[in-house]
Structure 1
């Protein structure tokens, strides 16, 4: 191994660790790595920003623009009534909702499919009285499974296709991924639908059974004069009232002292954490003062839950700085945090991906604010867009998919035509839509492409393949693809799937050369492994959102995702070996 290869391995290891820690923004880590690669002379200056001109990045941007239009269509809002009329059992409804999510995800990115189906799914759960915990994980996993089926289902598929095109002159066709992806997706959706009903059962009156997990919120409430909390020590609040106190404010200043010595008095403001149902019950009993909103008597007053999406402008902001709500007379009354770190008062809390805001105000003001800050309401809102109810955006998109699927146009050209058609028909405002794109993901993807290319051009992939061949006979049928799939699935819970595909694609090509096998087989398993991400709530943004919305524990992902990951691993290895080797 030479100095150049050693430097690249150290750089990659450092970046993977920084990505997994999630303490720095992904685009900052990627750009830092890009600059470090140039300083280490791993690629020339003209190649440093070549990723921004890559067809992969261009296609991802086009899909993100198209998804913004399709997400406004509210095309699936009537599902609840249809299921109610059909009288299906819960497991059939869950499987159907997950199946629709997976189907949508074949033609767009995973987060887009999840965002489109989430409000309709929660609405169906409310109407049919299906517990939220039985619904959210299945549609999150289904969105990941659907991405296995097509070229544009996930950026990882586009990246491995680009690697194949550079190696052989021809990339994957639109549905080449479906040979393995479609059977895995169908089996996985059926499995997770059955598991969800068994792992997250409805309460059946058995007092000995552990209660289902409920979402915990943080809120600041005033103590009324007649409240039973008055005269209670802070230390007794968890046991007597189910609240974990974090701060007590009296006369505008904090009450300092130990929990056993601090006593609540009428008129105090309590900052506490607890189950959302506990706050509701205490407010109903008069133990806590309910939030008072000036618009509460208006006919269009609404209380809406909204989740902070990965592309939201609110990420990193504190409650006190949310002018997007304040300027419209919308109040943030409570917050469900993925990783509670509570310091100061409620207005000092800092938002991150997956946090859920409870908003009060007029319905139109809330809808307008959520659209501006890229947060997703967890209940269907009336759409003001002309897209609602129209089939034409879907028809335009379907035409672009057909042009790409039949090889008539390259994907980046076909979807550029779709963007143009949506803009001409006034379904898409390109200027506004470009501002709403999840640019950190795009920048990360573009910055990582030159580094991934360096894995091949510096001979690092060849060195890594040689090392792995000493431990596993990669020239044997199944051994190489089984090892690559295992590595990809081991990395993707900690690193985004695009990075996994970029780093492993050159190694996959070396594996194929050493085994004298078609490189397509090895690249297919890299793409599949990068998307089979079910074991943790932090590996993919869909899972992060699901954990917050469904009130899951980390162990819930292991229980529901473990069997699914094992099934996906076995089926992918066997199908790829049968079809591609």
Structure 2
């Protein structure tokens, strides 16, 4: 092994590690690979950036635009809507129709785009037929993956394999050469799923998935979290707005409707002023609401100055300055994680001349912010060594009073001996989460416990030193005064009468929403609708949604008036699965879009010009004829995929030029060579299949294709068979939701769990392997 080979293999191992662990984004990993190869002299500067002008990259980029043009022109919608007339009502027939149609479309369109387009259609057909969407959505996703195996442009791995052949000096695959294996694989896979594999799909009570608002509420178990509250005549909330009551924020309740004098207002504005006798239909955790009401039993004591002085004797008060590169910059303050990481309570934030002492969790932190912290004496060194802060200064009691006026926001609560709060922890009673109170200390039997932890148990007769607003205690008393009605059923007619409706939606694969919270969607502000529940990992989540970070595959249940929900159809970040009113698609440009696609295919097949030029010309034609706008074209491109391919292409070049591919091929031959060439190809297929569980498809094919080419040279056989094996194995990434975005897309709407993909995906991958193993010796002989 030479030094160059060792360095290339080291870079390859590092890239695989980062792809598997996701410590770094995959596109950044690819750029790191490119930079390392160039700086170490393993490839020339020209080769290092050659990926950005590579014909395969240009073709992939153009195909994203062409696929979007077909969708926006309405031609794909015409095809998918026609499914409703031919799918029938039998489950096996519907599975076959959806898999075949999605497969044929994916041969010429981006498979993620096809899955996005057909997802709402599949949900609608399933519910109209009285079967669970879970019986159709996974087969739909698998159909798009198998269909992508049929043509050169069906999926980026096919183009990259063909590119490797060109660069290796051998004849590349033609446009429909992949169909010799891809079409039989699609037909065999469809037959297997429709006749046998569908019995491996999760079974759901069909009554929970048929059309209707009542059934959506039942599917998400929404009524389990709905209860009614009445505002009594002597309530502190009379004359207050919904926002003043803190019901939506502190109690985490969504007010679905307000009934007054027999008239119901659905999803009222938070500026709605309450009157005596109002009935509020609320959705949320009733047990947590009851827990908050228990705090009403606490009484304010007038001992704060004395107890505060005792607490200061045992605590250190310091001011720290947030560093420019602090990990919490740009994030809202989260008290519990901060306390656990730094061993300190945040009591105030000073920014310039402005000091904030309450509602700190609503403030986004910025570099240079000064945080007032309370901590133990022995924790000062820990704060001083932290890279999160540029300065740590201890404050005197005078500083606290003159600069921060901290004593103005301090009060003491006494816990009665018979209080229901006795025996609960600070985490369980949720006072700090609900009202942004900070528990600075607990005084018990003459002893003081400073900055108590979240698992500290409250006892009767405790004195609690609190930082916060005394007026929030009036809110607690108002919560206690609300009457919980025994039966909320009479007020649920807000759904039956059509004043409120429900729709399901999931995130568009191109949307940059993963990791953002439900509150960040701002659906209330933009559309006057609310997220009522979220479906994840086969379970419904119905509380604490505002702060819940979104994940790929989540399905959301959104509630609102019909006229407002219809606006969601135009939101490009969401795919509405059950639209209340689907706006008709303008299909006047469909013939033009279809003509450009057919022309591109014909030109590429006849060899009149390279497919990269033909695809780019067709995409340009679609923009010029207004099948889509240039802004829509830019948005359609999966730039992360483009950068992964462009960044990893130099690695394939380095593997060939340094001999690293030959070195690895020799190792594979030493292991499998004695069993013959087909055994080596089968091993290559199996290794590639395993790689799809961890490595992005584009990156995987750029690693495996040079190895396959070197194996062909060492074996003295045609490179077509081993390279086709790599292409098929990468495309048939069926056994994991994370192996392809199309699999993730249907996860939430179908209510699937990880195990469901293994149950059907592994047998289906075996079917594809058997088809390839039977046909390849005849189609691509050695």
User: Could you tell me the TM-score, scaled by structure 1's length?
Assistant: 0.82
Q: Does 1:473 align with 2:673?
A: yes
2:185–2:768 CA contact under 8 A, matched in 1: yes
Match for residue 253 of structure 1?
A: 435
- CA distance in structure 1 between the partners assigned to 2:607 and 2:221 by the alignment: 50
Match for residue 52 of structure 1?
A: 52
- CA distance in structure 2 between the partners assigned to 1:81 and 1:35 by the alignment: 51
Q: Does 1:306 align with 2:505?
A: yes
DSSP-derived class of the 2:139 partner: helix
DSSP-derived class of the 1:305 partner: strand
Match for residue 148 of structure 2?
A: 147
- CA distance in structure 1 between the partners assigned to 2:221 and 2:589 by the alignment: 35
1:306–1:358 CA contact under 8 A, matched in 2: yes
DSSP-derived class of the 2:153 partner: coil
Q: Residue 442 and residue 285 in structure 1: after superposition, are their counterparts in 2 closer, same or farther (change >3 A)?
A: farther
Q: Residue 164 and residue 384 in structure 1: after superposition, are their counterparts in 2 closer, same or farther (change >3 A)?
A: same
1:474–1:480 CA contact under 8 A, matched in 2: no
Match for residue 401 of structure 1?
A: 601
- Cα displacement (A) at 1:102: 0.7
- CA distance in structure 1 between the partners assigned to 2:42 and 2:489 by the alignment: 64
> When the two structures are aligned, how many residues end up with a matched partner?
543
- CA distance in structure 1 between the partners assigned to 2:194 and 2:428 by the alignment: 42
- Cα displacement (A) at 1:177: 0.8
Aligned partner of 2:558 among 351, 355, 359: 359
Q: Residue 356 and residue 197 in structure 1: after superposition, are their counterparts in 2 closer, same or farther (change >3 A)?
A: same
Unaligned stretches of 5+ residues in structure 2: 207-217, 231-281, 292-426, 438-452, 460-475
DSSP-derived class of the 1:503 partner: helix
Q: Does 1:286 align with 2:488?
A: yes
- CA distance in structure 2 between the partners assigned to 1:527 and 1:265 by the alignment: 66
- Cα displacement (A) at 1:233: 11
Partner deviation per Cα, 1:420-442 (whole Å, 9 max, x = no partner): 22122211101332034221111
- CA distance in structure 2 between the partners assigned to 1:193 and 1:53 by the alignment: 43
Q: Residue 231 and residue 137 in structure 1: after superposition, are their counterparts in 2 closer, same or farther (change >3 A)?
A: closer
Match for residue 11 of structure 2?
A: 11
User: Bigger shift: 345-354 or 520-529?
Assistant: 345-354
- CA distance in structure 1 between the partners assigned to 2:540 and 2:50 by the alignment: 40
Match for residue 349 of structure 1?
A: 548
Q: Residue 162 and residue 318 in structure 1: after superposition, are their counterparts in 2 closer, same or farther (change >3 A)?
A: same
Match for residue 257 of structure 2?
A: none
User: Please, what is the CA RMSD of the aligned residues?
Assistant: 4.0
Q: Residue 141 and residue 229 in structure 1: after superposition, are their counterparts in 2 closer, same or farther (change >3 A)?
A: closer
Aligned partner of 1:415 among 597, 609, 615: 615
Match for residue 530 of structure 2?
A: 331
2:132–2:205 CA contact under 8 A, matched in 1: no
- CA distance in structure 1 between the partners assigned to 2:493 and 2:688 by the alignment: 48
Q: Residue 259 and residue 102 in structure 1: after superposition, are their counterparts in 2 closer, same or farther (change >3 A)?
A: farther
Q: Residue 180 and residue 46 in structure 1: after superposition, are their counterparts in 2 closer, same or farther (change >3 A)?
A: same
2:180–2:779 CA contact under 8 A, matched in 1: yes
Partner deviation per Cα, 1:53-76 (whole Å, 9 max, x = no partner): 111111111111122222232224
Q: Residue 477 and residue 323 in structure 1: after superposition, are their counterparts in 2 closer, same or farther (change >3 A)?
A: same
Match for residue 121 of structure 1?
A: 122
Q: Residue 202 and residue 554 in structure 1: after superposition, are their counterparts in 2 closer, same or farther (change >3 A)?
A: closer
DSSP-derived class of the 1:67 partner: helix
- CA distance in structure 2 between the partners assigned to 1:535 and 1:259 by the alignment: 45
User: Bigger shift: 154-163 or 449-458?
Assistant: 449-458
Match for residue 75 of structure 1?
A: 78
Aligned partner of 1:434 among 618, 634, 643: 634
Partner deviation per Cα, 1:531-555 (whole Å, 9 max, x = no partner): 1111111111111222222111222
- Cα displacement (A) at 1:169: 5.1
Q: Residue 288 and residue 52 in structure 1: after superposition, are their counterparts in 2 closer, same or farther (change >3 A)?
A: farther
Q: Residue 259 and residue 171 in structure 1: after superposition, are their counterparts in 2 closer, same or farther (change >3 A)?
A: farther
Match for residue 520 of structure 1?
A: 720
DSSP-derived class of the 1:75 partner: helix
1:309–1:354 CA contact under 8 A, matched in 2: no
- CA distance in structure 2 between the partners assigned to 1:42 and 1:446 by the alignment: 16
2:733–2:740 CA contact under 8 A, matched in 1: yes
1:110–1:153 CA contact under 8 A, matched in 2: yes
- CA distance in structure 2 between the partners assigned to 1:397 and 1:363 by the alignment: 38
Partner deviation per Cα, 1:156-207 (whole Å, 9 max, x = no partner): 00000001111125321101111111111110111122234312375689xx
Aligned partner of 2:686 among 486, 502, 510: 486
Q: Residue 469 and residue 79 in structure 1: after superposition, are their counterparts in 2 closer, same or farther (change >3 A)?
A: same
Match for residue 211 of structure 1?
A: none
Unaligned stretches of 5+ residues in structure 1: 206-213, 236-245, 269-282
Match for residue 228 of structure 2?
A: 224
Q: Does 1:447 align with 2:647?
A: yes
- CA distance in structure 2 between the partners assigned to 1:577 and 1:77 by the alignment: 36
- CA distance in structure 1 between the partners assigned to 2:31 and 2:221 by the alignment: 36
User: Bigger shift: 179-188 or 431-440?
Assistant: 431-440
1:306–1:378 CA contact under 8 A, matched in 2: yes
- CA distance in structure 2 between the partners assigned to 1:187 and 1:382 by the alignment: 35
1:217–1:335 CA contact under 8 A, matched in 2: no
Q: Residue 387 and residue 352 in structure 1: after superposition, are their counterparts in 2 closer, same or farther (change >3 A)?
A: farther
1:31–1:447 CA contact under 8 A, matched in 2: yes
- CA distance in structure 1 between the partners assigned to 2:558 and 2:655 by the alignment: 48
Task: Please identify which structure carries the higher strand content.
Answer: 2
Q: Does 1:157 align with 2:168?
A: no
1:138–1:196 CA contact under 8 A, matched in 2: no
Aligned partner of 1:508 among 691, 708, 712: 708
1:314–1:373 CA contact under 8 A, matched in 2: no
DSSP-derived class of the 1:409 partner: coil
Match for residue 239 of structure 1?
A: none
- CA distance in structure 1 between the partners assigned to 2:490 and 2:537 by the alignment: 24
DSSP-derived class of the 1:534 partner: coil
User: Bigger shift: 349-358 or 447-456?
Assistant: 349-358
Match for residue 187 of structure 1?
A: 188
- CA distance in structure 1 between the partners assigned to 2:565 and 2:620 by the alignment: 30
Q: Residue 284 and residue 476 in structure 1: after superposition, are their counterparts in 2 closer, same or farther (change >3 A)?
A: farther
- CA distance in structure 2 between the partners assigned to 1:462 and 1:475 by the alignment: 19
User: Could you tell me the TM-score, scaled by structure 2's length?
Assistant: 0.62
DSSP-derived class of the 1:472 partner: helix
- CA distance in structure 1 between the partners assigned to 2:202 and 2:176 by the alignment: 37
Match for residue 299 of structure 2?
A: none
